[in-house]
Amino acid sequence: MNQRTGQELYRKAKTRIPGGTQLLSKRPEMFLPENWPAYYSRAQGAQVWDLDGNMYYDFSINGIAACILGAADPEVNEAVIAAVRAGSMSTLNPPEEVELADLLCELHPWAEMVRYARCGGEAMAVAVRIARAATGRDRVAFCGYHGWHDWYLSANLADDKALDGHLLSGLAPAGVPRALRGTALPFRYNHLEDLEAIVAQHGDELAAVVMEPIRNMEPAPGFLAGARDLCHRAGALLVMDEVSVGWRLNTGGAHLVYSLQPDIAVFAKAISNGYPMAAIIGTADAMQAAQNTFVSSTYWTERIGPAAALATIRKHRRENVAQHLGRIGQMVRDGWRIAAERAGLPVTIGGLVPMSSFAIQHKESPAAHTLFTQLMLDRGFLASRSFYTTFAHQDQMIEEYLQAAEDAFGVIAQALARGTVREMLKGPVAHAGFTRLN
Ligand SMILES: Cc1ncc(COP(=O)(O)O)c(C=O)c1O
């Protein structure tokens, strides 16, 4: 099949757009250098069409976890079209903002007030600003990835390796003021002793503890409650980043599943199923601090985001979407395991069930993973090591996908045994982490 148009456009893009794309994780080099379709003409449910009209089932990251209901969900689209028809921007404010605030506080009974933004990293920056304003302190202890903003990247000013292991290694802090050095202090998930050390040294300067409630592994017994206690004893605010894990396990933040009560929680991505929207929810005490600082932006007042979020959340709750995501995720995990056993391929499986990933255990694993993507693309699937489930993924598709994955695992196992994996690749090995593109 002809798949060249996307790559031709991408080559041009790199001459006009530094790095080629707006999001690191959508760079074609992260999947299949020189051969990934790169651009889409249409996306619907779990299906994506490239610029040459080829259709694929998306068994990769589904809009980087934004399309939780599937792409172009009809119900969300209808709400968005109604918002567009009614005027998406005005001198006055959209009433959907208040309706959504009520719904978010109903779903999270500990929360009393809500602010909005449109992107995850931006909303996290708002949360950190509010925490700093509320406490009058500068330092932030964090675990995991939270976006591109100065407060976060400044962690790499202190020590080049500080962000390694916090999702993307090698994030370069060029352009981040050196004066921020030492203001963002990393700790590892499930390592309470890291946070204890930060609190012992900087407790009275700590504005916030920022973390995801869960991501790649289950919280160890006592870890979440221990982190909350350390945070509160230091007089800091606990900020839960639900940008990626929110809405995967339940209708709301994953912190609810663990009965964890933070001071602030942040949602983006899946909250609005592909339309820009983000919410910062919190206790009245914490959120009132937004009045003592300046957080304000024109497009935070448009109507499409809150309209899309209301429609997404209502469908999510009504259809018990989280249960579907878990069931599909488990089917795929089981399928990977069986396919790997049949192929004799050493594979480990990890991640949250609705955001699962596998890893081939071999010294040639980067090349083997790239070959998986290449083989699956030939079979009509956008596929990588990670699969973020959506409500649009149905059993029949899963069966087809798992059949193709089993074939691919077989080919990879043979190629690894013969030492021919790299020869079989039509292009270079996929990138991992942050690398500069020329
Ligand atoms: C946990 C978490 N926080 C923040 C972000 C940043 O969100 P955005 O890419 O919408 O700025 C991400 C994105 O992957 C994320 O996973």
Burial 373-393 (b: 16+ CB within 10 A, else e): bbbbbebbbbbbbbbbbbbbb
At 434, the pLDDT band (50, 70, 90 cuts) reads: low
Q: CA nearest 273: which of 252, 247, 250? A: 247
Contact 124 CB / ligand 1 (< 6 Å): yes
C-alpha of residue 418 to centroid of ligand 1, in Å: 40
- Of ligand 1's atoms, which has the minimum distance to the CA of residue 25? 14
Q: CA nearest 129: which of 145, 144, 117? A: 117
Cβ burial of 238 (10 Å; 0-12, 13-18, 19+) is buried
Contact 302 CB / ligand 1 (< 6 Å): no
Q: CA nearest 143: which of 231, 263, 221, 63? A: 231
Secondary structure element (H or E) that encloses residue 338, with its range: helix 321-343
Q: CA nearest 425: which of 359, 365, 368? A: 368
- CA-to-CA dists, residue 282 to 58, 129, 228, 294, 423, angstroms: 35, 13, 15, 17, 54
Q: CA nearest 312: which of 109, 127, 150, 83? A: 83
pTM of the model: 0.97
Q: Using CA atoms of 238, 244, 247, 253 in order, give the dihedral in degrees to the nearest 10.
A: 0
* pLDDT at 338 exceeding the cut of 60: yes
pLDDT, tens digit (0-9, with 9 covering 90-100), for 129-169: 999 999 999 999 999 999 999 999 999 987 778 888 776 77
| Length of the chain measured in residues | 438
**Helical segments of 86-166, H only:** 96-107, 120-135, 150-153, 155-158
Q: CA nearest 187: which of 204, 211, 216? A: 211
Residue closest by Cα to atom 3 of ligand 1: 146
The residue among 174 and 104 whose pLDDT is bigger is 104
Q: Using CA atoms of 33, 38, 44, 47 in order, give the dihedral in degrees to the nearest 10.
A: -30
Q: CA nearest 364: which of 427, 429, 411? A: 429
pLDDT of residue 118: 98
**Which letter does DSSP use for residue 45 in this model?**
B
pLDDT of residue 168: 75
Query: What value does the mean pLDDT of the chain take?
Result: 96
* pLDDT at 171 exceeding the cut of 90: no
Contact 244 CB / ligand 1 (< 6 Å): yes
pLDDT of residue 435: 60
pLDDT, tens digit (0-9, with 9 covering 90-100), for 83-111: 999 999 999 999 999 999 999 999 999 99
Mean pLDDT of 24-42: 96
Q: How many Å apart are CA 305 and CA 312, to the nearest integer?
A: 10
Residue closest by Cα to atom 7 of ligand 1: 120
Q: How many Å apart are CA 289 and CA 279, to the nearest integer?
A: 16
HSE-CB at 386 with a 13 A cutoff on CA atoms is 16
- Of ligand 1's atoms, which has the minimum distance to the CA of residue 244? 16
C-alpha of residue 245 to centroid of ligand 1, in Å: 10
